[in-house]
Amino acid sequence: MRDSLRAVVASWVFFALAACGPGGGSDGDLVSIEIEPANATLEYTGTPLTLDYHAIGHFADGSTAELTDATFTLDAAGVSLGQFSAATFTATGQAAGKGGVSAQRGDVTGTTSVIVRIHTTDLGPGVPADGASKFPDDVAPVGAQSPTIAYPLQDAVMPTSVKAPVVQWEPTGGVDHLYRVRVVSGDAIVDTILAQDPAFTFSLQPQHERWQTLKNSSDGVVRFTVEHWDAATGAQGTQPVSIRMVPASITGAIYYWNLNAGQMEQITEMGRTVAIQNPPPKSNGSRCVACHSVSKDGRYLSGALWEGGSQGAVFDMANDAVKTADPAPTVTPLAENSTYTVLFSTFNDDGTRLMLNRGTGLEVINPQNGTSVATTGLPTSGVAHPSWSPDGKSVALVTNIMAGGGAAGWAVDYDRGDLAVMPVTAPDTFGAPVSLVPAASVDPAFSAPSWPTFAPDSKWIAYGAGTNSRGRNDSIAAVYPGALFLVDKDGGASYRLDTACGGARDCYLPNFSPYDDGGYYWLVFYSTRDYGNAPAGTKGAQRRQLWVTAINKAKLAAGDPSSVPYWLPDQDVQSANMSAYWAPPPPLQ
């Protein structure tokens, strides 16, 4: 077909040169441009493809000629599909989809479209050379050996900045059996053929380059299927799982507590690392940073050293010595039983003030030196879990905390309290807390609100609630059911985030991302729900792991606006992880 096209073009060129001379006529005589081939489709299977285009000029006198000096370009939709060198288009495999092609000479432009389809196949270790041929191109029938996908979750919403999910399915088959993991996104298909061996975990994380291609090709939906093959039954398919990809850049650093290791860790786009390698030691050798919070710009981290209610410290996370020195340097001076003590803390909008929850009262210090700041209006008892809004105008907190039988509670452990907002009326001056969700007004199963967090625009507050402020008390082997809620900071109905929690009561300690992107807020929390299967995930372990749900801003004040969550990549599935604080990358010093 291409040879015949070129023959036709050659005859046109010969005629045009004879009739009009070099260049095919003057620009003033050019009426329109026709591009050949029109509406082309390229099938990319792993090797860059090229296609030679021709611009055919149509002139006022009815003649035609190839325009060898026409300029070819791609429109915005097609620019990710490949690139032009003169009149030759090269599809690089970075994205699939449909784009526009233009040819221009002078002020005359012709257009057509190009479709690039991508279908790559990767063979894992131990897969025979003909492994891909075991699976039909269409969806294989469902049978007794069909895998069941355990992760990702159906209809999960993920930002395009997130790493590829680890596809996991329930164990099936036996040694020497094959699996095809197929991921489809728009006009892109990525197949990976895997061979089962004794160490097989029934999981696959798509390669980074392949995932980038899938994201670049997405029409908003990415579909996963897993198919099984053995010699006796042939190929058998599975029920596909689809997720929604949102064009949003949600990055930064998430600081969280690894309970098993007893240390602060952080997850960034570079992966998981220890946030503070060598915390200052206590005289008895204890090293710990817990009950932490992070400044709004991501630079400073406040925490309690050694144990809750003990020495407080502030670390400058832009100082590389925090990760390497022993002991890690602190901004605030350290001396056991001096400076200040803290249970929980929260920074104001510009990081110049740090509010402390000491006992069940509040006070404010200067985080640069640990000295107390004179304030007006702060509660001195009965409150817990303060959270300063990003705009600096409000503090969310829990008031009137009580333990069983009506006794006074403490900020770590209580079973009743009111969610409230305290206005900041002037510098270091606070108004009386205004109750948003009184304990007396809710189901007793949710009478203990905890850990309020403001959305990045300071308009909404997410919080946890259950029968206790904790999710678990290991000292008495107690597990407390918990759910997540969302409420307008100015009052109104409180919406339970059932979609985020899968309808269960195993979600705790929410914290908003500082990013407001893609039409969503992004909320991280921990849950004891199953992540994936048992060999690769946490199925059956009830191990605390971090999850992220997208809060649909278009559905605020109209019921549950949460989305099916995704598991935060790069966690250690063998550790219990909780208390995630999401911040932008710390600014450079």
- The pLDDT score that the predictor gives to residue 410 is 83
What stretch of H or E contains 473? strand 472-473
Whether residue 241 sits in one domain with residue 134: yes
- Give the pairing type, strands 545-552 and 566-567: antiparallel
- Whether 410 is covered by a domain: the verdict is no
State the Cα–Cα distance between residues 316 and 514, nearest whole angstrom.
19
- Whether 486 is covered by a domain: the verdict is no
Whether residue 210 sits in one domain with residue 185: yes
Q: How far is CA 348 from the centre of its chain?
A: 25
Q: Tell me the backbone φ, ψ of residue 16, rounded to 5 degrees.
A: -65, -40
State the Cα–Cα distance between residues 49 and 91, nearest whole angstrom.
5
Q: What is the pLDDT of residues 360-372, one digit of tens each?
A: 999 999 999 999 9
Which of 225, 246, 267 corresponds to the end of one domain? 246
Whether residue 129 sits in one domain with residue 230: yes
Residue 242 — very low, low, confident or very high, per pLDDT cuts 50/70/90? very high
Average the pLDDT over 127-151 and give the result.
Answer: 92
**CA triple 133-134-140, angle to 5 deg:** 115
Query: Does 18 score more than 70 pLDDT?
Result: no
Average the pLDDT over 413-441 and give the result.
Answer: 96
- The pLDDT score that the predictor gives to residue 405 is 66
Please, which residues bridge with residue 311 across strands?
341
Query: Does 581 score more than 70 pLDDT?
Result: yes
Residue 140 — very low, low, confident or very high, per pLDDT cuts 50/70/90? confident
- The pLDDT score that the predictor gives to residue 235 is 94
Please, which residues bridge with residue 356 across strands?
345, 363
Give residues with Cβ within 8 angstroms of 442, minimum separation 6.
Answer: 465, 494
Which of 219, 246, 273 corresponds to the end of one domain? 246
Whether residue 144 sits in one domain with residue 75: no
Average the pLDDT over 198-219 and give the result.
Answer: 95
Tell me the two tokens of residue 426: 């002037």
Give residues with Cβ within 8 angstroms of 441, minimum separation 6.
Answer: none
Cα–Cα distances in Å, from 259 out to 518, 543, 545, 577?
33, 11, 11, 6
Whether residue 166 sits in one domain with residue 84: no
- Whether 578 is covered by a domain: the verdict is no
- Whether 34 is covered by a domain: the verdict is yes
Average the pLDDT over 484-502 and give the result.
Answer: 97
- The pLDDT score that the predictor gives to residue 8 is 33
- Whether 400 is covered by a domain: the verdict is no
3-state DSSP assignment of residue 68: coil
State the Cα–Cα distance between residues 354 and 70, nearest whole angstrom.
64
Whether residue 108 sits in one domain with residue 138: no
State the Cα–Cα distance between residues 449 and 418, nearest whole angstrom.
7
Tell me the two tokens of residue 157: 């919403």
Average the pLDDT over 471-488 and give the result.
Answer: 88
Residue 87 belongs to domain with CATH number: 2.60.40
Whether residue 185 sits in one domain with residue 90: no
Strands annotated E in 152-240: 157-159, 167-169, 178-185, 188-195, 203-204, 221-230, 234-236
Please, which residues bridge with residue 281 across strands?
287
Whether residue 80 sits in one domain with residue 23: yes
Whether residue 50 sits in one domain with residue 30: yes
Residue 295 — very low, low, confident or very high, per pLDDT cuts 50/70/90? very high
Q: If you ran DSSP here, which 8-state letter would residue 444 be given?
A: G
Query: Does 91 score more than 50 pLDDT?
Result: yes
Write out the residue range of the structural domain in which residue 195 sits. Answer: 124-246
- Whether 279 is covered by a domain: the verdict is no
Cβ-contact 20, 59 below 8 angstroms = yes
Least confident of 11-25, 216-230, 404-418, 480-494: 11-25
Q: Which residues of 85-110 are buried (b: 16+ CB within 10 A; e: fewer)?
A: eebebebebbbbbbbebbbbbeebbb
Percent of the chain with pLDDT over 90: 80
Whether residue 108 sits in one domain with residue 9: yes
State the Cα–Cα distance between residues 337 and 503, nearest whole angstrom.
45
Average the pLDDT over 209-233 and give the result.
Answer: 95
Whether residue 128 sits in one domain with residue 108: no
Q: What is the pTM of this model?
A: 0.92
| Radius of gyration for the chain, computed over Cα atoms and rounded to the nearest angstrom | 30
Domain count, the chain: 2
Residue 157 belongs to domain with CATH number: 2.60.40.10
- The pLDDT score that the predictor gives to residue 293 is 96
Q: What is the pLDDT of residues 332-371, one digit of tens each?
A: 887 655 568 889 999 999 999 999 998 899 999 999 999 9
Residue 26 — very low, low, confident or very high, per pLDDT cuts 50/70/90? low
Cβ-contact 433, 397 below 8 angstroms = yes
Which of 246, 280, 310 corresponds to the end of one domain? 246
Cβ-contact 566, 157 below 8 angstroms = yes
State the Cα–Cα distance between residues 438 and 461, nearest whole angstrom.
15
- The pLDDT score that the predictor gives to residue 20 is 41
Tell me the two tokens of residue 477: 């082997």
Q: What is the DSSP string of 223-281?
A: EEEEEEEETTTEEE----EEEEEE-----SEEEEEETTTTEEEEEETTEEEESSSSPPB
Cβ-contact 451, 464 below 8 angstroms = yes
Whether residue 103 sits in one domain with residue 128: no
- Whether 429 is covered by a domain: the verdict is no
- Whether 498 is covered by a domain: the verdict is no
- The pLDDT score that the predictor gives to residue 585 is 87
